[in-house]
Chains A and B, each alone.
Chain A
Amino acid sequence: MTLWYSRNLLLGATLSLFFVALALISFVWTPFDVESLNIGAKLKPPGASYWLGTDHFGRDVFSMIMVGARTSIAVALVAVGIGMGVGVPLGLTAAARKGGWLDEVIMRGNDLIFAFPSLVIAILITAIAGPGAINAIIAIGIFNIPVFARLTRGAALSLWEREFILAARVCGKSRTRISVEHILPNVTNLLIVQGTIQFSLGILAEAGLSYVGLGAQPPTPSWGRMLAEAQTMVSFAPHLALVPGLAIVLTVLGLNLMGDGLRDALDPRIRVTRT
């Protein structure tokens, strides 16, 4: 049992860290400059000098994957940050004022956002505000807010019934103080797990938006746009579609495995049943 979930965690963390490492290394070094084109060396298959081949402009695919990882991770990370930064306080507030008008307003507002299919609205937002990485971040971020708000409220509500909270109330602590000092630390595990899952969804959403041309704009490499550009060349240069496709799959898989692993490792109930 222990082996199984730790193996999940290990595999997931390795995959995720691999791409994070690629992204970090790309700040200081890439095999080739991704912004300079070399038309003479276009559509080279993977080989010794270009490890993963070159695209239709003669750019090195491996370098583009490295820099693309940066784009994906940055967009997803900030989007999850927005979701947590706004959603968690909202959820804590709603739980602290359970049944009050503030709770109603927050939760109905969340329902409203939740009611829309997220990717479609993300497309709408970027179509109105103009394509670009910043707008993609905002669009994905907005849809992360209700996820975290609901999760936090749900977990916080049950905590509010517990004795240690009652003790804190008896001591005269304010609802806000209790939320920050006692509730928040007790929902952190949940938030980490959900954050990992949302992070992987954010990477998928970024790839989707760039695929339809609404994500990071050229010349900034992005995995989704690499896929879109490779479409008409699949039959004679399959590596152009396979490489970014695999990068997306492996990153999302890694993050999901890591999320599962973390949940197993962090959830006290599971830990109890397993020992």
Chain B
Amino acid sequence: MKRLNLGAFAAISICAGAAAHAAQTDITVAMQLEPPHLDPTSAAAGAIDSVLYSNVFEGLTRFDADGAVIPGLAKDWEISENGLTYTFHLQEGVTFHDGTEFEASDVKFSLDRARAEDSTNAQKALFESMDTVEVVDPLTVRVTLSQPTGALLFNLAWGDAVMVAPESIDDIKSRPIGTGAFKFVNWVQGDRIEMERNSAYWGDAPALETATFRFISDPTAAFASVMAEDVDAFVGFPAPENLPQFEADPRFQVIVGSTEGETILAMNNKQPPFDNPLVRKAVAHAIDRQAIIDGAMFGLGTPIGTHFAPHNPNYVDLIDLSNFDPEKSRQLLAEAGLADGFTTTLKLPPPSYARRGGEIIAAQLREVGIQTEITNLEWAQWLEEVFRGKNFGLSIVSHTEPMDIGIYARPDYYFQYGKPDFVTIMETLNAETDPDARSALLKDAQRMIAEDHVNGYLFQLAFPTIANAKIDGLWENQPTQATDLTGVRWTE
């Protein structure tokens, strides 16, 4: 096997030699987490989208690099006066990777599958207001809503709303068939996923011919793989302390983008003493955000005062509601009848923002008399114990979905807020299509959770990408979890 590989490698080298001076057309992109399977429409794991979004799978609409919603497989659409009927006109000449044609019936199939009663889609709320999906003709689809949904086009751009081929569903978790510019070729579990250019792609052909995604979870190994140029780019580089070294090295470019990841100190709102708003407020005032950003992230990250991305135009700066004030924190604890402090659990998932941030927060809380018992958990354990089991006092996690403030309306969501007033705001927002009214509602929502101190709001996660200096076209920011390679090229 080894010899075979070497032979193949030699063949490639010879070919490359023949095509001297032509720009490279293959790329190896590394990331930390490997997808559990390859169906973005049936799992919450962001790693699936990080590999497949836009490369293999496309939706009716899509996010571009700036987070704007632009046409995808639907080239345009009409919205009825009352906002209840959307008529989508599909791109012509689109085929799935298995050769079958992409038509209106596939749209109906994909949307009906995602919103079905027994659907395992992780974001079923995206499709909640859809009443019917009808095929008008092979290139036209009509979606009728039960109530106006201002965010419908935004919702359809999510990785959870991509178009899938009906024939491919049985094997989709291991053999994804989409309409994208790259075809899935091979998945070596625990190591890499390979793709090649889709020659029948309906849109602009990508510059790359082949792409390999590699999964390297250990930060030390990640550092070594980039330094040795084993990988051409590392998206979401896990060790921020190493960035200055890459910046100083002319072989690399360091791109630090923003993400939709609100990093929070989650508090279990149903577990005493965190069911007392005074205690939550005390915790919020005990936290020094800048120390966490400097200590855990080596300066990367923007402080936030609520569960909203600061680069969003509707963001309200509410940091003053929970400024660092240990004296006030102690007073609040005394008011809550906990002048002597208390002991709670702090359960931390693997990323360094959580592990390092947790140690810093534990030290800051100790200053005001709150003792924490730190437990480090692997992701599977964290999902089991904290996210599903709700067996925690405090935890740290980054919520990376775009515009996910709606999770606060879910009373059974792991931090268990779900205040009726907040639910009302979200329901009004979902039915509202006027941009100004939507903006006002979003601001009210941010204010309510910040004033209630549902969670400790720490910082917006930064997204460092280290790439070979000759690579152009990688996304800087992460408006959704994606590694869109369609516009990536080597400059020489």
The reply to whether A231 and B220 form a contact with Cβ atoms under 8 Å apart is yes
Residues from 52 to 91 in A contacting B, C-beta threshold 8 Å: 56-58
What is the CB-to-nearest-CB distance from A157 to chain B, in angstroms, rounded to a whole number?
46
Q: A232-B241, A235-B245 are in contact. Are A57 and B220 (CB under 8 A)?
A: no
Tell whether A100 is near chain B: CB-to-CB under 8 Å. no
CB-CB < 8 A to A235: which residues of B?
Answer: 242, 245
Q: A36-B363, A37-B363, A232-B242 are in contact. Are A219 and B374 (CB under 8 A)?
A: yes
Tell whether B84 is near chain A: CB-to-CB under 8 Å. no
CB-CB < 8 A to B362: which residues of A?
Answer: 218-219
Q: Give Cα A233–Cα B358 distance, bound, in whole angstroms.
A: 19
Q: Give Cα A37–Cα B366 distance, bound, in whole angstroms.
A: 11
Tell whether B444 is near chain A: CB-to-CB under 8 Å. no
Tell whether A35 is near chain B: CB-to-CB under 8 Å. yes
Q: A39-B294, A39-B295, A235-B245 are in contact. Are A57 and B360 (CB under 8 A)?
A: yes
Q: Give Cα A238–Cα B358 distance, bound, in whole angstroms.
A: 24
Q: Give Cα A131–Cα B223 distance, bound, in whole angstroms.
A: 27
The reply to whether B294 and A232 form a contact with Cβ atoms under 8 Å apart is no
Encode A235-253 as 1/0 by CB contact (under 8 A) with B: 1100000000000000000
Q: Give Cα A57–Cα B356 distance, bound, in whole angstroms.
A: 9
The reply to whether B360 and A218 form a contact with Cβ atoms under 8 Å apart is no
Tell whether B376 is near chain A: CB-to-CB under 8 Å. yes
Q: Give Cα A217–Cα B373 distance, bound, in whole angstroms.
A: 9
Contact of A35 among B219, B356, B366 (CB under 8 A): B366
Interface residue tally of chain B, by bracket? 20 to 34
The reply to whether B360 and A56 form a contact with Cβ atoms under 8 Å apart is no
Tell whether B239 is near chain A: CB-to-CB under 8 Å. yes
The reply to whether B219 and A231 form a contact with Cβ atoms under 8 Å apart is yes
Tell whether B291 is near chain A: CB-to-CB under 8 Å. yes
The reply to whether A232 and B363 form a contact with Cβ atoms under 8 Å apart is no
The reply to whether B295 and A131 form a contact with Cβ atoms under 8 Å apart is no
Interface centre among B219, B245, B374 (most CB of A within 10 A): B374
The reply to whether A39 and B241 form a contact with Cβ atoms under 8 Å apart is no
Contact of A219 among B223, B244, B359, B367 (CB under 8 A): B359
The reply to whether B245 and A37 form a contact with Cβ atoms under 8 Å apart is no
The reply to whether A130 and B375 form a contact with Cβ atoms under 8 Å apart is yes
CB-CB < 8 A to B376: which residues of A?
Answer: 131, 213, 217-218
CB-CB < 8 A to B363: which residues of A?
Answer: 35-37, 57, 219
The reply to whether A37 and B360 form a contact with Cβ atoms under 8 Å apart is yes
What is the CB-to-nearest-CB distance from A101 to chain B, in angstroms, rounded to a whole number?
43
What is the CB-to-nearest-CB distance from B348 to chain A, in angstroms, rounded to a whole number?
9
Q: Give Cα A55–Cα B329 distance, bound, in whole angstroms.
A: 28
Q: Give Cα A236–Cα B375 distance, bound, in whole angstroms.
A: 29
Tell whether A42 is near chain B: CB-to-CB under 8 Å. yes
A234's nearest neighbour on chain B, judged by CB, is: B220
Residues from 302 to 359 in B contacting A, C-beta threshold 8 Å: 356, 358-359
Q: Give Cα A133–Cα B328 distance, bound, in whole angstroms.
A: 35
Count of chain A to chain B residue pairs whose CB atoms are closer than 8 Å in the complex:
56
Q: A231-B220, A232-B242 are in contact. Are A131 and B359 (CB under 8 A)?
A: no
Residues from 362 to 417 in B contacting A, C-beta threshold 8 Å: 362-363, 366-367, 373-376
A217's nearest neighbour on chain B, judged by CB, is: B374
B372's nearest neighbour on chain A, judged by CB, is: A219
The reply to whether A131 and B375 form a contact with Cβ atoms under 8 Å apart is yes
The reply to whether B360 and A232 form a contact with Cβ atoms under 8 Å apart is no
The reply to whether A233 and B241 form a contact with Cβ atoms under 8 Å apart is yes
What is the CB-to-nearest-CB distance from A58 to chain B, in angstroms, rounded to a whole number?
8
CB-CB < 8 A to B242: which residues of A?
Answer: 232, 235
The reply to whether A37 and B291 form a contact with Cβ atoms under 8 Å apart is yes
CB-CB < 8 A to A218: which residues of B?
Answer: 358-359, 362, 374, 376
Encode B202-220 as 1/0 by CB contact (under 8 A) with A: 0000000000000000011
Q: Give Cα A36–Cα B288 distance, bound, in whole angstroms.
A: 13
CB-CB < 8 A to B219: which residues of A?
Answer: 231-232
Interface centre among B220, B358, B367 (most CB of A within 10 A): B220
Residues of B at the A interface (CB closer than 8 Å) are 219-220, 223, 239, 241-242, 244-245, 291, 294-295, 356, 358-360, 362-363, 366-367, 373-376
Residues of A at the B interface (CB closer than 8 Å) are 35-37, 39, 42, 56-58, 130-131, 213, 217-219, 231-233, 235-236
Q: A36-B363, A42-B294, A236-B241 are in contact. List 14 more A-B contacts (CB 8 A).
A: A37-B359, A39-B291, A56-B356, A130-B375, A217-B373, A217-B376, A218-B362, A218-B374, A219-B363, A231-B219, A232-B223, A232-B242, A233-B241, A235-B242
- A–B pairs, 18, beta carbons within 8 Å: A36-B363, A36-B366, A36-B367, A37-B363, A39-B294, A39-B360, A42-B294, A56-B356, A57-B359, A58-B295, A130-B375, A217-B375, A217-B376, A218-B358, A219-B362, A232-B219, A232-B242, A236-B241
